Amino acid sequence: MMREFIYFADHLSTSVGKAFSWLIVILMGGTCYEVFMAKVFNAPTLWNFDFSLQMYGAIFMMAGAYTLSTEAHVRGDVIYRLFKPKTQGYIDLVLYFIFFFPGVLALAFYGYEYASLAWKIKETSWNSPAQIQIYMAKALIPAAGVLLVIQGISEVFRSIICIKTGHWPARMVVAEETEKILMRTSQDEDQKDVI
């Protein structure tokens, strides 16, 4: 049952993260449009700053669970990586309950109240001359919290499996450290030079 939930959570987090990554293209298009309008026609838009802010916020909020599912969050693992996987599992299990779940549960519950009020009053940006609507973007706050809770439960199950078996379950998408990628690329180039 735990492995099925891990599979479900990883697929959900990966699907949502990849879907929201396309907002980068929209964000880039909006920025290019703004620069073009401002520099070529000397007619900057009133709405683009808020639009960019909302797009970036959506990417940031909705990529959290994906980043967690790929182990890509910043981690101070100087000592942690020296431990055996079973010990790492115990450390992760304890830390998820002490630090992770209180924060993301607060994000989900209080984010819901925050977004609900914004929808009720049809909130607009108070600092925007265009008075752009922001209540829809605020709905992403509790959504991100729920996705993080689901992925967090998956990570707890991973820790339990690691404690029982002594090995971490495989991940759907594995994040690699930049140094490893650069070293592998450098080694591949060296091998091509030898051949």
pLDDT in tens, 112-144: 999 999 999 999 888 777 788 899 999 999 999
Burial of 135 (0-12, 13-18, 19+ CB in 10 A): middle
Instruction: Name the burial class of residue 127, with classes exposed (0-12), middle (13-18) and buried (19+) by CB atoms within 10 angstroms of its CB.
Output: exposed
- CB of 48 within 8 A of CB of 30? yes
Helix (H) or strand (E) holding 57: helix 48-62
Phi-psi domain of 51 (left: phi exceeds 0; alpha: psi -120 through 50; beta: other): alpha
CB atoms inside a 10 Å sphere around CB 12: 17
Angstrom distance (rounded) from CA 195 to CA 189: 10
Cα distances from 101 to residues 47, 86, 109, 153, 186, in angstroms, run 36, 21, 12, 9, 40
Give the global pTM.
0.85
Distances (CA, A) of 189 to 40, 185, 192: 44, 6, 5
Do residues 49 and 37 touch, judged by C-beta distance below 8 A?
Answer: no
* pLDDT tens for each residue of the chain, 195 residues long: 999 999 999 999 999 999 999 999 999 999 999 999 999 999 999 888 888 989 999 999 999 999 999 988 877 778 888 999 999 999 999 999 999 999 999 999 999 999 999 999 999 888 777 788 899 999 999 999 999 999 999 999 999 999 999 999 998 876 666 667 777 777 777 777 666
